[in-house]
Amino acid sequence: MPYPAEADRATSRDMRVQVVIVQDHPLLASAIARILDCQPDLTVCGIARNGNEAALLAARQKPDVALLDFQLPDVSGPAAAGMILTARPNVAIVFHSGDESESDLLDAIEAGATAYLTKSAAADQIVEAVRRASRGEVLIPVALLAKAMARQRVSNASVERENLMARFTPRELEILNLLAGALDTGAISRHLGIAPHTVDWHASRLIEKLEVHSRLQAVIEGARRGLIQR
């Protein structure tokens, strides 16, 4: 049975914010670990050198915060964040990057980051970011959050368009675009070198797949969904 003083120390450790450091530079990882371990409310429960190690560590140690380098030897920082979140869904991700580009910042946000620090961040900034992230605070400027959301919407729209286009044959899309150019069956037949009844068949398939009732409606719906090339 532990002495009271030992039990108090154990309880104190249990109440600390548990942090894993994901950093492939040993000296930098050790320096950050010393900084965090000096804090009365923080403790480093492990150091990983790459994304795969980080995921295993997160599953085993169940940290509150992952302080994650953006560039790792095996996977990208955002990919590693996804692996860590799969292993420990409620962990807070704090990126620590040598790059201040907006593109990387947006990638970090989309990967689930709650904070993004540059390598020039002072020790007290790292401590404060980890501390606040553990409390569920998001330390990302509102303007960047808005840009990330807008980029995600564009990305989702692009995926939806690709999925939609996959439902149509190249010939159907070709005829849809010619219909949008106000060509009738005869003109399309001559332009493509196919029989008029073949044009009509493809047009019927377009109407069916777009769930409309006429060629005009097919053109309007095709334009709305981004299927018409301009």
- Residue-wise pLDDT for 16-34, tens only, equals 999 999 999 999 999 999 9
Provide the whole-model pTM: 0.59
Angle subtended by helix axes 77-87 and 51-61, to nearest 10: 20
User: Which of 129, 152, 175 lies at the terminal end of a domain, its last residue?
Assistant: 152
Residue 167 in this model has a pLDDT that exceeds 90: no
Q: What φ, ψ does residue 116 adopt, rounded to 5°?
A: -140, 115
Q: What is the pLDDT of residues 130-160, one digit of tens each?
A: 999 998 877 765 555 555 555 555 555 565 6
- Let me know whether 110 and 148 are in one domain: yes
Report the pLDDT value the prediction gives residue 157, as an integer from 0 to 100. Answer: 53
Contacts 24+ apart (CB under 8 A), 178-183: 179/203, 179/206, 179/215, 179/218, 179/219, 180/219, 180/222, 180/223, 180/228
- Let me know whether 141 and 199 are in one domain: no
- Let me know whether 30 and 104 are in one domain: yes
Q: Is residue 230 part of a domain?
A: no
Tally of structural domains, the chain: 2
User: Which of 102, 121, 152 lies at the terminal end of a domain, its last residue?
Assistant: 152
Q: Is residue 204 part of a domain?
A: yes
User: Which of 102, 120, 152 lies at the terminal end of a domain, its last residue?
Assistant: 152
- Let me know whether 69 and 114 are in one domain: yes
Report the pLDDT value the prediction gives residue 35, as an integer from 0 to 100. Answer: 95
- Let me know whether 204 and 136 are in one domain: no
Residue 10 in this model has a pLDDT that exceeds 50: no
Query: Which residues form the domain of 106?
Result: 4-152
- Let me know whether 167 and 147 are in one domain: no
Of 58-67, 90-99, 220-229, highest mean pLDDT:
58-67
Structure tokens at 22: 């994901």
Report the pLDDT value the prediction gives residue 11, as an integer from 0 to 100. Answer: 40
